[in-house]
A and B are shown apart, each in its own frame.
Chain A
Amino acid sequence: MLEVFIFSTLNGLVTGLLLFMLASGLTLIFSMMGVLNFAHASFYMLGAYFAYSISLHLGFWMGLIFAPLIVGILGAVVERFALRRVHAHGHVAELVFTFGLAFLIEEAVQFFWGPDTKNYQSPDILDFPLFTLFGQEFSAYRGFMIAISVGIFIGLYYVLTRSRIGIIIQAAITHPHTVANLGHNVPFIFMGVFGVGTALAGVAGVIAGPVLTTFPGMAVVLGSIVFVIVVIGGLGSLGGAFIASLLIGLLQSYAIASNVGMPDLLNLVGLEFSRDHPLTDLWTLTLPQIAPILPFLLLVLVLIFRPTGIAGKREQ
Chain B
Amino acid sequence: MMRLFSNTSLKLLLVSLLIQGSSLASAQEPIRIAFMDPLSGTFASVGNSGLKQLQYAAEELFNSRGGILGGRMIEIVPLDNKQSPTETQIQFRRAVSEDIRIIFQGNSSAVANTLNSTITRHNRRNPGQEILQINYSAVDPILTNEECSFWHFRFDAHAIMKLNVLTDYIAMNPDIKKMYIIGQDYSFGQVVADTSIELLREKRPDIEIVGNEFHPIGQVKDFTPYVTKIVSSGADAVITGNFGADMVSLARSIIDSGLEIPIYTFYAAYDGITATLGADGVDKIRLIHNDAGNPIPTQERLEYIQKFKRLNPDNDMTQHRITNALQMLVKAMEESQSTDPYDIALALEDMRFVNMSGEELWMRGEDHQIIQSLHISVHTDQNIVVDADNSGFGLLREYSVPAENTIMDHSCRMQRPRR
A-B CB pair tally, cutoff 8 Å = 137
Q: Which residues of B contact A (CB under 8 A)?
A: 40-45, 47-48, 185, 213-216, 218-222, 224-226, 228-229, 231-232, 245, 248-249, 252, 256-259, 271-273, 275-276, 278, 314, 389, 391
Instruction: Flag whether A116 is at the interface (Cβ < 8 A).
Output: yes
Task: Indicate if A97 sits at the interface (CB-CB under 8 A).
Answer: no
Residues of B within 8 A of A114 (CB): 45, 314
In the bound complex, do residue B271 and residue A117 qualify as a contact, i.e. CB atoms below 8 Å apart? yes
Complex Cα–Cα for A137 and B224 (A)? 11
- 15 new A-B contacts, CB < 8 A, other than A129-B258, A256-B215, are A110-B40, A116-B45, A116-B271, A119-B276, A119-B389, A139-B257, A211-B222, A213-B249, A215-B42, A215-B248, A216-B41, A217-B245, A218-B245, A221-B218, A293-B216
Contacts of A106 in B (CB 8 A): 40
| Residue A15 interfacial (CB < 8 Å) | yes
**Which residues in B have their C-beta under 8 angstroms from that of A137?**
256-258
The answer to whether B224 touches A293, judged by C-beta atoms less than 8 angstroms apart, is: no
Contacts of A198 in B (CB 8 A): none
A220 interface contact, C-beta 8 A = yes
Q: Which of B213, B226, B245 contacts A117 (CB 8 A)?
A: B245
Instruction: Give the residues in chain A near B245, CB-CB below 8 Å.
Output: 117, 213, 215, 217-218, 221
A253 to B258 alpha-carbon distance, docked (Å): 19
Report the separation of the CA atoms of residues A287 and B338 in the bound assembly, to the nearest whole angstrom.
54
Taking the closest CB of chain A, its distance from the CB of B415, in whole angstroms, is 25
A261-299 toward B: CB 8 Å interface, digit per residue (1/0)? 000000000000000000000000010111111000000
Q: Which residues of B contact A290 (CB under 8 A)?
A: 216
For the complex, give the distance between the alpha carbons of A216 and B271 in Å: 12
CA separation between A256 and B225, bound complex, in Å? 6
Given A119, A135, A212, A288, which contacts B213 in the complex, CB threshold below 8 Å? A288
Determine if A289 and B249 form an interchain contact, defined as CB atoms under 8 angstroms apart.
no
Minimum CB–CB distance for A173 against chain B, Å: 30
Binds B, one of A2-10, A28-36, A60-68, A175-183: A2-10
B215→A292 contact, CB < 8 A: yes
B41: which A residues are within 8 A, CB to CB? 216-217, 220
A-B contact list, 26 entries, CB within 8 Å: A3-B231, A7-B232, A8-B228, A11-B224, A11-B225, A114-B314, A116-B314, A116-B389, A117-B245, A117-B271, A119-B275, A119-B278, A136-B228, A136-B259, A141-B256, A211-B256, A215-B45, A215-B272, A216-B45, A217-B41, A217-B218, A221-B221, A222-B221, A252-B225, A257-B225, A286-B214
CA distance in complex: A136, B257 (Å): 6
Q: CA separation between A204 and B265, bound complex, in Å?
A: 30
A292 → chain B, closest Cβ, in Å?
4
Q: Given contacts A110-B40, A119-B389, is CB(A4)–CB(B232) below 8 Å?
A: yes
A291 CB, nearest partner CB in chain B, Å:
8
Q: Which residues of B contact A4 (CB under 8 A)?
A: 228-229, 232
When distances are taken between beta carbons in the complex, the residues of chain A under 8 Å from B216 are 289-290, 292-293
Q: Which of B40, B219, B229, B391 contacts A221 (CB 8 A)?
A: B219
Please report the C-alpha to C-alpha distance between residue A4 and residue B216 in the assembled complex, in whole angstroms.
Answer: 21
Query: Would you call B272 and A212 a contact (CB within 8 A)?
Result: no
B219 touches A292 (CB 8 A): yes
| Contact present for B389 and A221 (CB under 8 Å) | no
Residue from B47, B228, B275, B314 within 8 A of A11 (CB atoms): B228
Measured between alpha carbons, how far is A286 from B212 in the docked complex, in Å?
A: 11
**Which of B231, B256, B259 is most buried by chain A, counting CB atoms within 10 A of its CB?**
B256
Q: How far, in whole Å, are A290 and B215 apart by their CA atoms in the complex?
A: 7
Contacts of B222 in A (CB 8 A): 11, 14-15, 211-212
- Among residues of A, the one whose C-beta sits closest to the C-beta of B253 is A211
Distance in Å from the Cβ of A107 to the closest Cβ of chain B? 8
Most buried by B among A8, A135, A212: A212
B252 A213 Cβ-Cβ under 8 A: yes
Contacts of B219 in A (CB 8 A): 221, 292-293
Known: A221-B42, A253-B225. A117 touches B258 (CB 8 A): no
| CA A216 to CA B45, docked complex, whole Å | 9
User: Does A187 touch B at the CB level, under 8 Å?
Assistant: no
Q: Check B229 against A257 for contact (C-beta < 8 Å).
A: yes
Closest Cβ of chain A to B388, distance in Å, is: 11
Known interface pairs A221-B218, A292-B220. Does A117 touch B232 (Cβ–Cβ under 8 Å)? no
Complex Cα–Cα for A48 and B391 (A): 21
Within 8 A of B (CB), among A106-130: 106-107, 110, 114-119, 121, 129
Give B273's nearest chain A residue, CB to CB.
Answer: A117
Decide: B40 and A119 in contact? CB cutoff 8 A: no
**Partner among A117, A222, A286 whose Cβ is within 8 Å of the Cβ of B248:** A117
| Cβ 8 A contact of B48, one of A14, A115, A212, A220 | A115
A293 to chain B, nearest CB (A): 7
